[in-house]
Chain A
Amino acid sequence: MLRHLFTLIWNRKRSNFLLITEIVLSFFVLFVVSSLLVSSYYNYRQPMGFDYTNVWEFDLNPGQDTASRKETLRLLKQHLRATPGVVAVTHATHNSPFSFSNMNTDQFRYKGRIPSQTEWYEADDEMARVMKLNVVAGRWFDRRDENSGQDPVIINQKLADELFVDEAPVGKYIDDKSSSKKWLVVGVIDAYRAGSDMAANEPALFYRRPLEDTAKSKYGYDGPVLLVRVQPGSGAILEQQLVKDIKQVSKGWDATVNSLEENRRDKMKIVLTPLTALGLVALFLIINVALGLFGVLWYNINQRKAEIGLRRAMGATGAGISKQFLGEMLVVTTLGVVAGLLLTVQFPLLDAFGLGTEVYGLAMLATTVLVYLLTAVCALQPSRQAAGIQPAVALREE
């Protein structure tokens, strides 16, 4: 029977061509959407590499104050650190977790190896404590780095894997493409996905930027952002007190405060908006394809009533007719899916967009299942309708 179905579909290739094309195009669009969704979900399941709970971000605005910011910030950190309820304070740059800015570079080299785009951050000695970073090799920055005469950096495991492969990175020097500078790796953290819950685990590198060295900020911007870890359960009273203290100590700097949890929620809304829009477009497409398939099958069955009657006369049961139409649709779908797979398998083969073989593989699997499910559901009702056609009536159709 399968050979018979293939023969029928092959002989009807002209009329099936458009249907197969529609399935291939749908497969491709669904594959793109599935890849993004799978990639996002895959990222979501990865560890963030830091603990954003009980961390408050203070964005400071010195306004027209011309006094030494370095000194003011030093005083502020000292004061905040001494406040009951505060655990640790770090001075961050503007690419703090869940912010809308990021900084990346491709300047790093090791033995000729070039990693993918690397996110870089500036950090002080307390950042590991504030963000509860997980140092898996070496150590975090400390006083030892201050007068060592080296340029210390800390990298994440992803960058370590790309640059050092099987070598232990701690104690090794990373070359800089644009200068003769060499960066000494003093520690490795497991991950740092600061963009959002959906952000990929990109290579990351931290420069040491103690407050005393503010003027040497690589970014050239003395961004007054403080991240403060507070005791669990700290609330509005502590928040108000800290803002008040900041104004007092800094002699008039404005401060706005948000918890990283709030920032995370805000960022999630922004990240989820395009995904939701894409999902809606995909849903709209699926509905359109479904209606199209449904219509084509309905039309086919009405066109082939005489054939249905004939097959019943030859010994087909109603269920057999239903299976035949379902089978034909699945064969047509298989042709479309095979063509779609041949097209989409190029993405992992060419390593396009860097989503990885696993993500593309899962997306192909999900798309295949979805397309089969879609066509089966669309074919089910018309096939049942075909099964219910009275053979004597059908045979009168010309």
Chain B
Amino acid sequence: MSASTPTNQLFLDPTIVAARPAAATGKPMLKLTDIEKIYQTKTIETVALNRVNLTIGKGEFVSIMGPSGCGKSTLLSIMGLLDEPSSGQVEIDGRPVTSYSDKELANLRNQKIGFVFQSYHLINDLSVLDNVELPLLYRSGVSGKERRQRAHAALDKVGLSARTNHFPSQLSGGQRQRVAIARALAGNPEIILADEPTGNLDSVMGEEIMDLLLGLNRQDGVTIVMVTHDEQQALKTERVIRFFDGSQVS
């Protein structure tokens, strides 16, 4: 880790991490109304989400907790427009997206949402820089030069500017997750959806990633929804939403 110890203020500055946010503006960034998700086979009907109503304000950092299989990841997929609810309505930044076409949904994901996954989901055959450029590839009007600049800036932000030409297999777990965060940041999203971002990391690395996310939320006002099993990390966020058997319990 020493070779890539970040110099960026965002990453380890204790004053930023410790400060409680004034970020949430009250305006809803994500609004779920009566969301149901039912998986149906010939013989079994499984209710993954049961009439979920949830509003997440702009600039808010929310964590979602609950036991395995309670519907957290399904909820995150629906929030990220990667999955369709069986019923109910999703609004992003005040716009209902239920009737959006595949292309419109893809554009919205590309413009507004950044994703961070537990298993990083980096493309092993692409360099760190190419991985970070990925969301910008799907954005029209961004030149190759601009893509490079924005990817470099995002990597600088997570303290990995010295690793641009490395491949994911040459990085530690923490570094990979930082690349994934840089990738989410490259598109300059308003929302980051993080699915157990520290789940594959040891506690030290987990803390680093958590600090990074807190920094993004508090310094840049990015709305973050994080699924986690870690109570300590959840308590660092502004709001903890708990799920059980597909229903919101708190």
- Chain A residues with CB under 8 Å of chain B are 1, 3-4, 7-8, 11-12, 306-307, 309-320, 390-392, 395-396, 398
Contact = CB atoms under 8 A, between A and B. Distances in A.
19 contacts: A1-B137, A8-B125, A12-B125, A307-B121, A309-B82, A310-B123, A312-B106, A313-B109, A314-B109, A314-B135, A314-B187, A315-B107, A315-B111, A317-B103, A320-B106, A320-B138, A390-B83, A391-B77, A391-B82
Contacts of A315: 106-107, 109-111, 135, 138-139, 187
Contact of A316 (B77, B106, B144): B106
B132 to A, nearest CB: 11
Nearest to A314: B135
Contacts of A309: 82, 121
A311 B111 CA distance: 14
A313 B107 CA distance: 10
Interface string B44-88: 000000000000000000000000000001100100101100000
Given A3-B144, A310-B123, A317 B82 contact: no
Given A320-B106, A390-B83, A395-B121, A313 B139 contact: no
A8 B126 contact: yes
Contacts of B243: none
B119 interface: yes
B77 A392 contact: yes
A306 B77 contact: no
Contact of B82 (A1, A312, A398): A312
Contacts of B110: 314-315
B83 A392 contact: yes
A43 B90 CA distance: 69
Contacts of B196: none
B117 interface: yes
A396 B82 CA distance: 12
Given A11-B125, A307-B123, A395-B121, A314 B82 contact: no
Interface string B86-117: 00000000000000001100110111010101
B134 interface: yes
B130 interface: yes
Nearest to A11: B125
Nearest to B134: A314
Interface string B148-188: 00000000000000000000000000000000000100010
A1 B107 CA distance: 16
Residue of A318, A320, A392, A398 with most chain B CB atoms under a 10 A cut-off: A392
Given A315-B106, A395-B121, A4 B137 contact: yes
A395 B81 CA distance: 13
A306 to B, nearest CB: 6
A-B pairs with the 8 shortest C-beta distances?
A315-B110, A315-B138, A392-B83, A392-B77, A11-B125, A391-B82, A314-B135, A317-B106
Nearest to B83: A392
A323 to B, nearest CB: 12
A7 B106 contact: no
A1 B143 CA distance: 11
Residue of A309, A310, A315, A396 with most chain B CB atoms under a 10 A cut-off: A315
Contact of A311 (B73, B74, B125, B134): B134
A127 to B, nearest CB: 72
Contacts of B74: 392
A110 to B, nearest CB: 64
Contact of A310 (B73, B107, B121, B125): B121
Given A311-B134, A313-B80, A315-B135, A7 B109 contact: no
Nearest to A10: B125
A395 B82 contact: yes
B48 to A, nearest CB: 11
Contacts of A1: 137
B91 to A, nearest CB: 19
Nearest to A393: B83
Contact of B138 (A8, A12, A314, A398): A314
A3 B147 CA distance: 13
Contacts of B73: 396
Nearest to B113: A313
B115 A313 contact: yes
A1 B133 CA distance: 11
Contacts of B102: 317-319
B71 to A, nearest CB: 12
A390 B134 CA distance: 19
A137 to B, nearest CB: 66
B82 A392 contact: yes
A64 to B, nearest CB: 84
Contact of B126 (A11, A319, A392): A11
Given A313-B109, A391-B77, 19 more contacts: A8-B123, A11-B125, A310-B121, A311-B134, A311-B138, A312-B109, A314-B110, A314-B134, A315-B106, A315-B111, A315-B135, A315-B138, A315-B187, A319-B102, A390-B83, A391-B82, A392-B77, A395-B77, A396-B73
A230 B248 CA distance: 101
A392 B73 CA distance: 9
Contacts of B117: 395
A233 B112 CA distance: 85
A109 B222 CA distance: 89
